[in-house]
Amino acid sequence: MKQFELKNGNKIPALGLGTSGLRGEECTTVVKQALELGYRHIDTADMYGNHRAIAEALNESDVERNELFITSKIQSQDLEYKQLLKSAARLLTELDIKYFDLLLIHWPNPDIPVEESLKAMQELKEDGRAINIGVSNFTIPLLKEALEHHPDLVTVNQVEFHPTLYQKNLLDFAFKNDVILTAYSPLAQGEVFNNSVLKDLGEKYDKTPAQLALRWLIEKDIVAIPKASSKAHLKNNLDVFDWNFPVDAAREMELLDQNNRLIDPGYPDFD
């Protein structure tokens, strides 16, 4: 699978499995199927409440730990220094792993300085419990602030990104500062399947709208973490590498942006 290089020289798989909304036995089954198909990047979060279900899948899999890339996220209410360290320890226990491949601040908290949170995350990195550190849902001003405090620590910003929410300014700023973007909701919560442009392009090139949307992101060096709950969708989402991305498809998809933000809790103030 294609990988992107982080600023510290480590690699992150270009495609992963998003697990938001997956719980219990369903989550375990989906993660096991994903691993069997060749997924190696699993994205989760404390907020999702599925760490133990994922741990069950990991423990039942034949895939070695060093072949996996496990991402999790600290909740916004747990970003104070001591609480962050406590939460990270709990998440590792729930996942039954010794380290995160990537640990993120899930949402910024206006009442807790990002410098305080990153100080704790730096400690986790130094003692080997987190190989890579990043943030999520950070706007340009918030990302700029984080980089001012820890320019070498912040490697990833995970944000909502899909053809109808093309955050070009954020993407340009991230690349300028050697930060990789990860796209959650890369299929716009299923809206891509009903997009007439993507449907027409899919028929023309014998690809699904999802495959086109995911490949569009990967062509921009953006990591994509689509969620899927069926083996067929897992397989289709994985089939985004071994074909040439049509130039005219790329051109048409550049015009789909509608600032169609689907996740907006009120803070931060998105661009």
Residue 58: its pLDDT value, please? 98
Residue 216 lies in a domain: no
Confidence category of residue 270, pLDDT binned at 50, 70, 90: confident
Summarised one tens digit per residue, pLDDT across range 2-24 is: 999 999 999 999 999 999 999 99
Domain span holding position 39: 11-189+221-231
Q: Is residue 183 part of a domain?
A: yes
**Could you tell me which residues are annotated as the binding site?**
106
Domain count within the chain? 1
The answer to the question of residue 59 being in a domain is yes
What the block records as the tokens of 38 is 């060749």
Query: Whole-prediction pTM value?
Result: 0.97
Active site residues: 48
Residue 163 pLDDT level (bands cut at 50, 70, 90): very high
Instruction: Return the HEC string of the chain.
Output: CCEEECCCCCEEECECEECCCCCHHHHHHHHHHHHHHCCCEEECCHHHCCHHHHHHHHHHCCCCHHHCEEEEEECHHHCCHHHHHHHHHHHHHHHCCCCECEEEECCCCCCCCHHHHHHHHHHHHHCCCECCEEEECCCHHHHHHHHHHCCCCEEEEEEECECCECCHHHHHHHHHCCCEEEEECCCHHHHHHHCHHHHHHHHHHCCCHHHHHHHHHHHCCCEECCECCCHHHHHHHHCCCCCCCCHHHHHHHCCCCCCCCCCCCCCCCCC
Count of positions (residues) in the chain = 271
Give yes or no for a contact between 133 and 154, defined as CB atoms under 8 angstroms apart: yes
Q: What is the predicted pLDDT for the residue at 225?
A: 99
Q: Is residue 115 assigned to a domain?
A: yes
Are 118 and 152 in contact by the 8 Å Cβ rule? The answer is no
pLDDT attached to residue 271: 65
Annotated binding site for substrate: 106
CA dist 154 and 132 (Å) reads 8
On whether residue 207 sits in a domain, the answer given is no
Residue 138 lies in a domain: yes
Asked if residue 243 is part of any domain, the answer here is no
Q: What is the CATH number for 60?
A: 3.20.20.100
Confidence (pLDDT) at 171: 98
Question: Would 33 be classed as within a structural domain?
Answer: yes
pLDDT digits (tens, 9 = 90+) for 173-229: 999 999 999 999 999 999 999 999 999 999 999 999 999 999 999 999 999 999 998
Check residue 108 and give its pLDDT: 98
